Amino acid sequence: MNKIVVTFAIISLTFFSCSMSASAANPQDDEPLTGTVIGRINVNGWKRYNDHSMVSISRFPNNISEFGKLESQVSNTPQGAVTMMIIAISMLRKDEDFGSECIAEIASSAKGTSVSLMRSIAAYEYYPRLFYKGATADNSYAPFSPTRVDVYADKNSYAVNGQLTLYVRAGGEKTNIPVVVRKVGNTYKVTDFSHLALHSPNGHR
């Protein structure tokens, strides 16, 4: 009888410890959800020192309502919209239905497909982590904390019909990957994310 009691106590303690560890692994889920835009990208034409910005988020959204809340904080800037697209791909990896909702929110009627993004997710364990600041092959694509995305502009960013072509970089490389955005009302939306899909194990395009 004593052996049964001791065994039950050990099992209970083990289960409790595992539960505590699981909850401790995701403390950020209960933190306030905030997005911060650092630096400025000039939207009226290229200017030196106004061609690089960083967007930081406190944690990832847990549902489409939170995604919309985060979008409202940062997508009044074009770099914020680019960042929300990267976040939407992260949500697609986590849950296809949720991620598809996020993509529909930030990039409805855009050039690019969820199918191509899902292929990249299936093919590359580190996708889309490699788009976040600090993620490189040398550290197995582990991004910095808090989560940040660097966004760049150049002299060719302003060439198309009121649309703005901005760039992210993958895995710490200096190759610019374009994402096209357009202002809709008071916020920016993505109109082309097709280049974010990875096509080759030896390259990011």
Q: C-alpha angle with apex 24: 28 to 84, nearest 5 degrees?
A: 20
- pLDDT on residue 47: 81
Identify the bridge partners of residue 55 per DSSP, sorted by sequence position. Answer: 37, 149
- pLDDT on residue 46: 82
- pLDDT on residue 30: 73
Contact 41, 28 (CB under 8 A): no
Token code pair at residue 3: 């052996």
Its pTM surpasses 0.85: no
C-alpha–C-alpha distance, residues 110 and 195, integer Å: 12
- pLDDT on residue 199: 61
User: Each residue's pLDDT tens digit in the chain (205 positions)?
Assistant: 444 443 433 334 333 333 333 333 343 677 899 999 999 999 888 887 789 999 999 999 999 999 999 999 999 999 999 999 999 999 999 999 999 999 999 998 899 999 999 999 999 999 999 999 999 999 999 999 999 999 999 998 997 788 999 999 988 888 899 999 999 999 999 999 999 998 644 444 4
C-alpha–C-alpha distance, residues 59 and 141, integer Å: 18
HSE-CB at 164 with a 13 A cutoff on CA atoms is 26
Q: Which of 121, 117, 119, 95 is nearest to 179 (CA)?
A: 117
Domain range list for the chain: 1-30, 34-196
Q: C-alpha angle with apex 201: 197 to 205, nearest 5 degrees?
A: 40
* 178: preceding bond cis by omega (within 30 degrees): no
C-alpha–C-alpha distance, residues 42 and 61, integer Å: 28
Q: Which of 73-107 are b and which e, b meaning 16 or more Cβ less than 10 Å from the residue's Cβ?
A: bbbebbbbbbbbbbbbbbbbbeeeebbbbbbebbb
